[in-house]
Chains A and B, each alone.
Chain A
Amino acid sequence: DAGVIQSPRHEVTEMGQEVTLRCKPISGHDYLFWYRQTMMRGLELLIYFNNNVPIDDSGMPEDRFSAKMPNASFSTLKIQPSEPRDSAVYFCASSLGRGRLFFGSGTQLSVL
């Protein structure tokens, strides 16, 4: 099992640009989560899906952030336009039922 796969590992962009982060969950998992890690807030839940349907997006900071899950094996988190304060590590995680979360290696985003 390859685990949760995230791409890219690192993203450096300029303020105002669109950023798209990608995630492939573990095959068979029915829950997918997007988290953001910062020093001040730790691991912050942004949104989660169940069977490809967004269940709770209350953690999405503002309308500049959007997430989709078009099928069971792929999800994207998009930031448009990006701002320097969006710089953080973004993690995707998946789980089978209400079990423990399996995390990807994360995407280090730097917005200049």
Chain B
Amino acid sequence: DQQVKQNSPSLSVQEGRISILNCDYTNSMFDYFLWYKKYPAEGPTFLISISSIKDKNEDGRFTVFLNKSAKHLSLHIVPSQPGDSAVYFCAASPLGSGTYKYIFGTGTRLKVLA
């Protein structure tokens, strides 16, 4: 069973517009969440994170929102650029439980059209 779900395998957005990538999780023990970006033939690279004590974290064009009651997080990219075209993975971990495991979703392929 997939504890971290990214239900949209792909997303296309026009350059300059907002990209919204969604992620749902089932385990209420998860208290730390990350987004990774992956280009072809490369390993995933860290993008942004959020702790469960917050509901929003911003870093430049990237903002992550966390809705704990809905067990949902989203990544907003504004404005989207062609260089943002990649596969985005969300990951979750129950850091507070003493277990150190990052569980990843299946990824969403974002294509930003010029």
Binding site for B on A (CB under 8 A): 4, 31, 33, 35, 39-45, 48, 50, 55-56, 91, 93, 98, 100-106
Chain B window 1-38, contacts with chain A (Cβ cutoff 8 Å), 1 for yes, 0 for no: 01000100000000000000000000000000010100
Q: Give Cα A103 to B41, complex, Å.
A: 12
Binding site for A on B (CB under 8 A): 2, 6, 34, 36, 41-46, 49, 89, 91, 95, 99-107
Of B34, B42, B99, B106, the contact of A105 (CB 8 Å cutoff): B42
Chain A residue at minimum C-beta to C-beta distance from B89: A43
Q: Label chain A's interface by main secondary structure.
A: strand
A103/B100 in contact, CB under 8 A = no
| Given known A-B contacts A48-B100, A48-B101, A98-B95, A103 and B45 have beta carbons under 8 A apart | yes
Residues of B within 8 A of A103 (CB): 36, 43-45
B100/A100 in contact, CB under 8 A = no
Cβ distance A15 to chain B, nearest Cβ, rounded Å: 25
Cβ distance B30 to chain A, nearest Cβ, rounded Å: 14
Having A42-B6, A42-B89, A106-B43, one finds 7 other A-B pairs with CB under 8 Å, namely: A43-B104, A43-B107, A91-B43, A100-B49, A101-B46, A103-B44, A106-B42
Among A31, A50, A103, A104, chain B packs the most CB atoms within 10 A around the CB of A103
Cβ distance B114 to chain A, nearest Cβ, rounded Å: 27
Cβ distance B87 to chain A, nearest Cβ, rounded Å: 9
Residues of B within 8 A of A104 (CB): 43
